[in-house]
Each structure stands twice: as structure tokens, then as C-alpha cells.
Amino acid sequence: MQIIERTCLENLFDLLKARGYDLFGPVARDGAIVYDQIDHVTDMPIGWHDRQEKGTYRLEKTSGSSVFAYAVGPYSWKKFLHPSAHLLWKAARTENGFELIKDEEPEKRKPAFIGVRACELNAILIQDKVFLGGQAVDSNYQANRAGAFIVAVNCTHPAGTCFCTSMGTGPKAKNGFDISLTELIEGGNHYFIAEAGSEKGADILLQIPGRPAAENEIAAGDDALKQSSEKMGRKLDTENIKELLYANADSPVWDEVANRCLSCGNCTMVCPTCFCTTVEDKTDLTGQHTERWSKWDSCFSLDFSYIHGGNVRTSVKSRYRQWMTHKLAAWIDQFGTSGCVGCGRCITWCPVGIDITEGLAAIRNNQTEKNNEI
């Protein structure tokens, strides 16, 4: 492990840019922490802190100098890896039918993602399984993912809706990164404990001014992450979670939630692992050109479950149950892991404050009461 002074963080940015990477990271904009292209450390939300609760998100500017004193915002890294819309193909009418048009794509620079939280890193690894791990590989995701350099940040500032500790996905990044950073401010000292997770990361760290981390500094980092685990705003009991949900398809809890749910799809849009899409065709007014686009969709949309003859899930109850059961149970059967990483976004950005951790606890309590009655 290596100590990097706060003043040397810009060296990391310069090295990555010199090696052909475009940098993407958190910025404070429109009242939220969002992800966008950045060039310098000063582009980041220095001194900003967030407050999150059910249906509530607020940014506060402090006098502090922390670079990463906030949790996740409404954006996730799937914005870049699995974008909300991308062109599948386009074609032009000819005398004998039509022909596909293939434009020359500009040369793509490699992305470097700065400030990837442990929960989000796990979300990326989950989407790797979805898009790259099966027989059918998503070529667009593969192209976006190729060569990505990941600078992870071990989270010392969880939000009130976070529960990554329950899901085993944080607050410390364990794998899948090139470099991980733990930010510490002790008195007048502001530094990062840096750890390499790949040969690329180790090579970069060798070029940054630094020194080996002392035992007391490593202990301070471990203590900060321990405190972070204890400050999680939410908990989710994952014991027998798959069996619990499969056995409670008729639980009255689904009706209670459905009475509040707006079926707006916010939870799926902000979720870092949700990947459902639809396909749209666009034709110009002359009928000479057409395009086919892939766009994000949501299982909360009524048309999403439409098949020949009608919709499979016509009620809000059935759509919410499908989302939560797939996320926490069926995903395990499909991909060998939960589809939830405990980032808490679905709680924060639900306009009516539906809480997935409370919903699961209610189903578990209802099941316990039923068992006691037998």
C-alpha cells in the first residue's frame, strides 16, 4: 500500500490522460452528484456532502476539503457502459429494396472511471456477467467496457439509504479495480491510501510521488471503513432470501406496496444493475431512411410484459413483485449472484419513499407470523 498526498492526486489524472484515457468522474451539477467527463481534480465535488433518505436527496456545501465525502447520486456507471440509447443499425431505401449503412466510427479513447464505489464496482461486475458471461455477448457493452481503467474509492461516507454491508459489496472494494483509494484527513494531513489491483494500476502508482503506508496509517484506513460499515443507514437480512420470496408470491405486503407505487420506473432507471431494453424504429418523413435504436426500458412499464394477446402483468402489484423478486431471488438463479448491491438508490429516488429493505422485512415478518400460527 502506498500513501499519496492530496496534492499529488492531480498526478494520477495527468498520467492517465498521457496514456490515452478520457477521465470520467463525479461532478456537482443541478443539485446532485452526477458522472461526467472531467480533466482535473478541481472539477470534482470538493467539500460537498449529501443527505439521503426515502424520497429525499440534498447536497450541502461544507468548508471541508474532502474529495469523496458523499455517497452515490442518481447516475451510475452504466450510463457509459450500457447507455440509455444506442444505434443498432440504419438503412436506406434502394431500387431493389434497402441497404444497411455503416458509418465510419471515430476512434474511441479508453475510459478511466474515477471514484467508483465498492457497491458500484460490484454492479459493473454483475453487468459483466449479464452482457459478457453468456453465449450471447452484447457487442456494444463489450466495446464500451474494453480497456476501461477503474479507480475505486473505498467509501467512508455512506448515505442514510445505503446497505452495501448487508449485501457483501462494500464499503471496501475487494476486486475488479486497477487502483483503489481510501481518503483520510487527520488534523492537517490529507492523504489517500492507494492499493493496486492490477498490473496497469501498479505501473501507474510507481509513477506517482508517494511512500509506503505506515502501520498506523493502514490501521486508520481500516478503522474508517469499520466506522462506515457501522453507519450504514439500512440493513437487509439476506438469509434464505431467494426461498423466502419464492414462497411468498401471495403475501399481502405486495398489495400494501402497490397501493403506493406509481409504477414510474425510477427505481430501475437509477439502479446500477438493471439492464432491460426495448427497441424503437425511426423513419424519416420521406420513407427513404430508417434507424433502429436500443433504449432503456423498465419492467414497471405496462407494455414491457406485452406478448401476443395482451399484457402478462397488468397490475402494479404484479410488476413491483416481478422487479423485487427478480432483483433479490431469480437473479441468483440466472447469474449466480443477487441483482442488488445495496447502493440504496431505489429508496432515495422513489418519489413515494418505497423502501426495498422495509418491504423484505415485512414479508419476512408476515411469514414468521404465519409459521407461528401453524
* Nearest Cα residue to 118 out of 350, 341, 337, 270: 341
Break the chain into its structural domains and give their ranges: 2-93+101-230, 241-373
CB–CB of 2/91 below 8 Å? no
Task: Give the pLDDT confidence of 71-121 residue by residue, as tens digits.
Answer: 999 999 999 999 999 999 999 999 888 899 887 776 778 999 999 999 999
Residues 6+ apart with CB under 8 A from 4: 12, 181, 191, 192, 194, 208, 209, 210
Q: How confident is the model at residue 374 (pLDDT cuts 50, 70, 90)?
A: low
pLDDT at 174 over 80: yes
- Condensed to tens digits (0 to 9), the pLDDT of residues 180-214 reads 999 999 888 999 999 999 999 999 999 999 999 99
Detail the DSSP E strand segments found in the chain.
2-5, 21-29, 32-38, 48-53, 56-61, 85-94, 97-101, 110-117, 149-153, 179-186, 189-196, 211-212, 277-283, 289-296, 306-307, 310-311
Instruction: Provide CB contacts within 8 A for 238, sequence distance 6+.
Output: 166, 167, 338
Could you identify the residue written with the cell 436506406? 92
Adjacent-strand bridge partners of 91:
100, 290
| Predicted TM-score (pTM) of this structure | 0.93
> Do 292 and 281 meet the contact criterion of CB atoms below 8 Å apart?
yes
pLDDT at 324: 96
pLDDT at 40: 96
The 10s digit of each residue's pLDDT in 116-142 is 999 999 999 999 999 999 888 999 999
pLDDT of the residue at 44:
96
Q: Which residues pair with 36 in a beta bridge?
A: 25
What would the mean pLDDT of 275-293 be, rounded to a whole number? 93
What pLDDT, on a 0 to 100 scale, did the predictor assign at position 135?
85
In this predicted structure, the answer to whether residue 370 has a pLDDT above a threshold of 80 is no
Placement of cell 447520486 in the chain:
73
Rg for the chain (alpha carbons), in Å?
A: 23
pLDDT tens column, 222-244: 999 999 999 999 999 999 999 99
pLDDT at residue 295 above 70?
Answer: yes
Q: For the beta carbon of residue 280, count every other beta carbon within 10 angstroms.
A: 13
Contact 36, 56 (CB under 8 A): no
If DSSP codes are grouped into helix, strand and coil, which group holds residue 163?
coil
pLDDT digits (tens, 9 = 90+) for 319-345: 999 999 999 999 999 999 999 999 999
Q: What is the mean pLDDT of the chain?
A: 94
**Residues recorded for the chain:** 374
- Check: CB of residue 266 under 8 Å from CB of residue 350: yes
- The sign of the dihedral angle between the CA atoms of 28, 33, 38, 41 is positive
- Model confidence at 52: pLDDT above 70: yes
Cβ partners under 8 Å of residue 158, min gap 6: 71, 164, 171, 228, 231, 232, 233
Determine the average pLDDT of the residues in 5-33: 95
Give a three-class secondary structure readout of 294-358.
Answer: EEECCCCCHHHHEECCEECCCCHHHHHHHHHHHHHHHHHHHHCCCCCCCCCHHHHCCCCCCCHHH
